[in-house]
Amino acid sequence: MDIVKIGKVLQELRKEKGLTQEQLAEQMGVTRRTVSRWETGSNMPDLDILMELSDFYAVDLREILCGERTREHMDKELRETVLEVADYSNDEKERLLQRLHWLFIVGLLGFVAFLAIQLLNLGSIAPYEVVGDFGLGLAFGMTIIGVIFTQKHAARIKKAKIRVLKKLQEKCHATPEQSKREKSISKITILGVVLGACVILTDQCLYRLPLWLAAVLFICAWILIIFGLIINRRNL
């Protein structure tokens, strides 16, 4: 799938309609930057928005996905399939967001407990030392679970989308391709996990890191992981 060609078609359709990016963004309930990203090929609209765009511009969805203007029209059965996949995708993303929300709250509470104990110089006292280590482990553990959970659900959503996109692309002679951006996002998430694991292992097993250094490195790891998860969710 050539998202650059898709972006050009979307830009062409918008201009034919005599709309600015701001006006289209307001019509679709998104930001102007989102519309700009569609048209430059940086990102692709979700299936439900693609359906809205095809209705709004009165063109066949395959015209947008193929990046070519045609006179063909989508049959009713295929259209219903696309709508069902779009609804499924939105429901899955909503459930995923809710579960991630709770996972990260638990992780944040664990990290706050660890920091509080360290800042109060209670880390050398047996009960507090155990609680602090548990809090740090809980924080990173919840983050790793979030990564695994996200990848699992992302794969399920993408499989459903790919199935319907293949049907739509049969007459386009187009093949789906994995973007370099997606690969870089996965590397960012993995880098965050590795950094966090190294901080914990070094601090607990090899050398007791200064509090400020451990906190900075762990926060950096968390930021990398969360950034990767957020971008990955947007690309679902």
Arithmetic mean of pLDDT, 205-234? 69
Tens of pLDDT, residue by residue over 125-147, are 777 777 777 777 777 777 677 66
> Residue 169: pLDDT band by 50, 70, 90 thresholds?
low
Arithmetic mean of pLDDT, 200-212? 64
Arithmetic mean of pLDDT, 101-106? 76
Arithmetic mean of pLDDT, 48-70? 76
Residue 59: strand, helix, or coil: coil
> Residue 175: pLDDT band by 50, 70, 90 thresholds?
very low
160, 85 in Cβ contact below 8 A? yes
The full DSSP string for 32-72 is HHHHHHHHHTS----HHHHHHHHHHHT--HHHHHHTS--S-
Compute the chain's Rg from CA coordinates. 23
The pair of structure tokens assigned to 81 is 């399939």
CA distance 166 to 171: 10
Arithmetic mean of pLDDT, 91-111? 73
* CATH architecture for the domain at 3-66: Orthogonal Bundle (1.10)
146 CB neighbour count, 10 Å cutoff: 23
Q: Which helix (H) or strand (E) holds 30?
A: none
* pLDDT value, residue 21: 92
231, 95 in Cβ contact below 8 A? no
- Answer with the residue of higher pLDDT: 112 or 72: 112
Domain ranges of the chain: 3-66, 89-234
**Angle ∠(233,235,236) on CA atoms, nearest 5:** 70
Residue 191: strand, helix, or coil: helix
- Answer with the residue of higher pLDDT: 10 or 108: 10
Arithmetic mean of pLDDT, 96-106? 73
- Answer with the residue of higher pLDDT: 233 or 41: 41
- Answer with the residue of higher pLDDT: 188 or 169: 188
